[in-house]
């Protein structure tokens, strides 16, 4: 085979590779626009008057930005109270879900006990049950013990673990070398000390991943607070937004800034924690 033929093939492969990268870049750019356009529209709409929101043709930019919409949002309804309630529920969910799921996942992955796999299968089966199936029994249970109208149904229950988080953390713990546990046991370390001083420090990515999932789930939760709180002083931001939206004439000049405020923490958390999020998903062995 002559050098000219080899050179021609190499050039053709380089061109094909560049064309592939160009096509991939084009597809990713289109997908990026598909995600960014709604965010841009939300931000732009938060600075518009109501008449501009429904104008035809569509106005992508406000003729005169109304930053006072954000100021009015704080006085139109008890925003700070609903924000405080939301943050309380979010905090306890992150702490409770992460801590309890880590303990249970460690037991399923690093401890050997009879029936472990069968019990884990039962835990996985509970993942297929939608919340709507257990919503009424849970409400009746919490009503019997006097928890309706308090934060307890939305905070204390998260300390009993979450099936998906348990599965995610179990897969991560399985990827850790067993030799670490054996060496620690030889040195006389208890199982709790192995969990706390070896497994947990090595599990920062998956802990961050579970914390992110818990934050997103709780921050955006609507049906849970609506059912269990039953007290307007305990309402969250999601219920406050729905209260504005469900009125006969919704105040869009308040609703749009509220949407920006509710989306902003989600974006900030993801961009700050995306390194750990991606690493935690990758090391858990879950593939999308």
pLDDT at 88 over 90: yes
Specify whether the CB–CB gap between 59 and 220 falls below 8 A.
Answer: no
- pLDDT tens-place string over residues 259-281: 888 888 888 888 887 777 676 66
User: Among 194, 208, 179, 197, which residue's Cα sits nearest to residue 283?
Assistant: 208
Question: 72 pLDDT band (50/70/90 cuts)?
Answer: confident
Rounded to 10°, the helix 79-109/204-219 angle is 140
The better pLDDT of the pair 58, 228 is held by 228
Tokens of 192: 């709790």
Sign of torsion, CA 74 79 84 86?
Answer: negative
pLDDT at 157 over 70: yes
Cut 0.85: pTM above it: no
Count helices and strands in the chain by DSSP H and E runs: 15, 0
Give the C-alpha separation, 9 to 26, whole Å: 26
**Four-CA torsion 48, 52, 57, 61, nearest 10 degrees:** -20
Question: Residue 218: its pLDDT value, please?
Answer: 92
Tokens of 38: 């709604």
Give the C-alpha separation, 138 to 153, whole Å: 9
User: Among 131, 80, 97, 96, which residue's Cα sits nearest to residue 237?
Assistant: 80
Question: Residue 101: its pLDDT value, please?
Answer: 93
Question: Residue 7: its pLDDT value, please?
Answer: 65
Question: 4 pLDDT band (50/70/90 cuts)?
Answer: low
Specify whether the CB–CB gap between 270 and 219 falls below 8 A.
Answer: no
Q: What radius of gyration do the chain's Cα atoms show?
A: 25
- pLDDT tens-place string over residues 113-143: 888 889 999 988 888 888 888 888 999 999 9
Question: Residue 251: its pLDDT value, please?
Answer: 80
Specify whether the CB–CB gap between 106 and 173 falls below 8 A.
Answer: yes
- pLDDT tens-place string over residues 219-249: 988 889 989 988 888 999 998 888 887 776 7
Give the C-alpha separation, 241 to 262, whole Å: 10
Share of the chain above pLDDT 70, in %: 92
- pLDDT tens-place string over residues 23-38: 888 888 888 888 888 8
**Four-CA torsion 216, 68, 57, 61, nearest 10 degrees:** -80
- pLDDT tens-place string over residues 169-226: 998 888 888 888 888 888 888 888 888 888 888 888 889 889 988 998 999 888 899 8
pLDDT at 287 over 80: no
Give the C-alpha separation, 113 to 92, whole Å: 31
Specify whether the CB–CB gap between 82 and 88 falls below 8 A.
Answer: no
Specify whether the CB–CB gap between 94 and 153 falls below 8 A.
Answer: no
């Amino acid at each position: 085979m002559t050098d000219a033929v080899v050179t021609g093939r190499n050039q053709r492969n380089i061109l094909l590779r560049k064309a592939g990268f160009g096509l991939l870049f084009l597809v990713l750019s289109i997908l990026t626009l598909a995600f960014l356009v709604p965010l841009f529209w939300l931000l732009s709409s938060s600075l518009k008057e109501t008449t501009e929101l429904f104008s035809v043709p569509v106005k992508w930019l406000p003729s005169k930005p109304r930053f006072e919409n954000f100021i009015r949002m704080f006085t139109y309804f008890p925003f700070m109270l609903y924000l405080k309630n939301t943050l309380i529920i979010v905090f306890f969910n992150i702490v409770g879900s992460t801590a309890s799921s880590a303990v249970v996942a460690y037991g399923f992955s690093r401890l050997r006990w009879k029936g472990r796999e069968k019990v884990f299968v039962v835990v996985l089966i509970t993942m297929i049950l939608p919340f709507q199936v257990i919503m009424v029994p849970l409400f009746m249970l919490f009503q019997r013990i006097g928890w309706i109208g308090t934060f307890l149904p939305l905070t204390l229950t998260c300390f009993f673990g979450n099936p998906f988080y348990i599965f995610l953390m179990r897969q991560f713990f399985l990827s850790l070398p067993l030799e670490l546990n054996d060496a620690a046991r030889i040195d006389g370390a208890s199982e709790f000390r192995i969990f706390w001083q070896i497994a947990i420090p090595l599990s920062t990515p998956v802990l961050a991943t579970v914390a992110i999932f818990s934050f997103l789930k709780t921050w955006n939760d609507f049906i849970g607070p609506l059912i269990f709180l039953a007290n307007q002083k305990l309402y969250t931001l999601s219920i406050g937004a729905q209260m504005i939206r469900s009125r006969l004439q919704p105040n869009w000049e308040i609703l749009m800034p509220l949407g920006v405020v509710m989306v902003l923490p989600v974006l900030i958390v993801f961009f700050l924690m995306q390194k750990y999020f991606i690493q935690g998903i990758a090391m858990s062995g879950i593939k999308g």
